[in-house]
Amino acid sequence: MRTQVGIIGAGPAGLLLGRLLSLNGIENVILERRSAAYVLSRVRAGVLERGTVEALEEADCAERLRREALVHHGLQIVFDNRYLRIDLQALTGSSVVVYGQTEITRDLMAARESEGSPTFYEAEATKIVDPESDRPKIIFRHADRDQTLECDFVAGCDGFHGISRTAIPPSVLRTYERAYPFGWLGVLADVKPCSDELIYASHPRGFALASMRSPTRSRYYIQCPLDIQLDQWPDERFWEELKERLGPDVAAHVTTGPSIEKSLAPIRSFVAEPMRYGRMFLAGDAAHIVPPTGAKGLNLAAGDVRILARALIAYYKQGLTDLLDAYSTQCLTHVWRAERFSWWMTSFLHTLPEADPFARKLQEAEFAYLARSKAAQTALAENYVGVRH
């Protein structure tokens, strides 16, 4: 089998890249080790920066988003029952959009099916051969037999546990990682959100986040130890703890109901450098992980894909290689900015297991400074709404 760009992974990053390439006449094949139904069943975040929305518009996949997405002009922070609203629109002239990652995936899948570009589900990539050559190959197993996809370029959009990153020799690859000693216990429920904007809460018992997927579906999180068992947290216990951390003013507006999904997500930071090796390029979680506190994961992936698509289009249409050569450096500039912001938000709002009263006093001082300083609020807002790629 032969194509111009072989894409490993049919999550939002791989599907978006494939769509942008197809619209520009560049052949591509997507390999996904899971089934399409499994990919659509994954529950992920959905706070989108303007640049991500623009990428979906470029992909001609934003019609339903424009109709159903929720535009947020601000966010709220609750610190020990003290409230502060960050006016994103007033401070930066920009906003964020809430639209679930599952819905983005659904829209991109439908567009790809409509255009007829090939996607192989339950096709596990097992090896990338000769990524430094001008004819790299992807070995994959599909329909109980090994097959080979020959291509000009390989795009590794296969997530943190995928094979793409392992194709970079250890002598070349550098990784940076920080694991946090806690996770997020998340609940999805078909109940009205408690607020029209996201609420980030810092409480001595731990962090909490009130978010939503739609006007009738809410997504809530609480900080918890990594060794908990989900059956230790029935819905009633979760709602009680959430209300405690959000504070009485917000708790009065929390509508409870049966959870339709409950999960535990570990919190970590990770960066791999470089994001290019020969004719293989890493994008999204294959190259970097950020704590979800800053709402950057999906947006960074979309940014990588947008930069890579432009570089590949310039190569095929104009014979230019400068954008391909600059890909890793350009992406990592945005990645490290997002890592710094996500680390700051996480450290500011979470209760660290080893924290002493001094550490909590520093968080209090941070909140007090943020509350009185327009400059500090602007810095938070600028990082939250993101940079355009």
CATH of the domain at 216: 3.30.9.10
Same domain, 261 and 273: no
Domain hosting 51: range is 5-72+99-177+268-346
Q: Look at residue 136 and tell me if it is in a domain.
A: yes
CATH of residue 9: 3.50.50.60
Same domain, 233 and 371: yes
The whole-number average pLDDT for the span 258-275 is: 96
Same domain, 221 and 258: yes
Catalytic site positions:
72, 200, 292, 296, 384
Question: pLDDT tens digits, residue range 92-133?
Answer: 999 999 999 999 999 999 999 999 999 999 999 999 999 999
Indicate the pTM of the whole model. 0.95
Question: pLDDT tens digits, residue range 288-313?
Answer: 999 999 999 999 999 999 999 999 99
Same domain, 304 and 334: yes
What's the DSSP call for residue 255? P
Question: Which amino acid does the sequence have at 20?
Answer: L
Report the C-alpha gap between 151 and 37 in whole angstroms. Answer: 27
Same domain, 207 and 232: yes
User: Residue 388: what pLDDT?
Assistant: 62
CA dist list (Å): 27 to 111, 121, 125, 148, 303 = 15, 18, 19, 16, 21
Helix, strand, coil % (nearest 5) of the chain?
A: 40, 30, 30
For residues 198 and 76, the answer to whether their CB atoms sit within 8 Å is: yes
Structure tokens at 228: 């908990």
Same domain, 232 and 368: yes
User: Residue 356: what pLDDT?
Assistant: 82
Q: Look at residue 186 and tell me if it is in a domain.
A: yes
Between 22 and 389, whose confidence is greater?
Answer: 22
Q: Look at residue 83 and tell me if it is in a domain.
A: no
Q: Look at residue 91 and tell me if it is in a domain.
A: no
- Structural domains of the chain, count: 2
What's the DSSP call for residue 89? H
Same domain, 291 and 361: no
Report the C-alpha gap between 17 and 157 in whole angstroms. Answer: 9
Q: Strand 199-202 relative to strand 74-79: parallel, antiparallel, unpaired?
A: parallel
Question: pLDDT tens digits, residue range 167-219?
Answer: 999 999 999 999 999 999 999 999 999 999 999 999 999 999 999 999 999 99
Question: Does the structure show a pLDDT above 90 at 259?
Answer: yes
Q: Look at residue 94 and tell me if it is in a domain.
A: no
What's the DSSP call for residue 334? H
For residues 101 and 12, the answer to whether their CB atoms sit within 8 Å is: yes
Same domain, 39 and 172: yes
Nearest to 198 by CA among 302, 46, 50: 46
Q: Look at residue 81 and tell me if it is in a domain.
A: no
Provide CB contacts within 8 A for 54, sequence distance 6+. 388
Same domain, 280 and 378: no
User: Residue 195: what pLDDT?
Assistant: 97
Following DSSP, what letter does each residue of 262-330 receive, concatenated? EEEEEEEEEEEE-SEETTEEE-GGGTEE--GGGS-HHHHHHHHHHHHHHHHHHHHHH---HHHHHHHHH
Bridge partners for 289 per DSSP: 270
Question: Does the structure show a pLDDT above 90 at 376?
Answer: yes
Q: Look at residue 202 and tell me if it is in a domain.
A: yes
Report the C-alpha gap between 359 and 338 in whole angstroms. Answer: 23
Question: Does the structure show a pLDDT above 70 at 389?
Answer: no
Question: pLDDT tens digits, residue range 342-366?
Answer: 999 999 999 987 778 898 999 999 9
- The beta strand positions in the chain, using DSSP E, are 5-8, 28-32, 47-48, 70-72, 74-79, 82-87, 96-98, 119-121, 124-129, 137-142, 145-150, 153-156, 174-189, 199-202, 208-214, 217-224, 259-273, 276-277, 280-282, 288-289
Same domain, 357 and 322: no
Same domain, 122 and 47: yes
The whole-number average pLDDT for the span 77-94 is: 97
Q: Look at residue 310 and tell me if it is in a domain.
A: yes
Structure tokens at 153: 């370029």
Task: Provide the sign of the torsion angle of the four alpha carbons 372, 374, 379, 381, taken in this order.
Answer: positive
Report the C-alpha gap between 190 and 214 in whole angstroms. Answer: 9
Same domain, 141 and 281: yes
Can you tell me whether residue 84 is helix, strand or coil?
Answer: strand
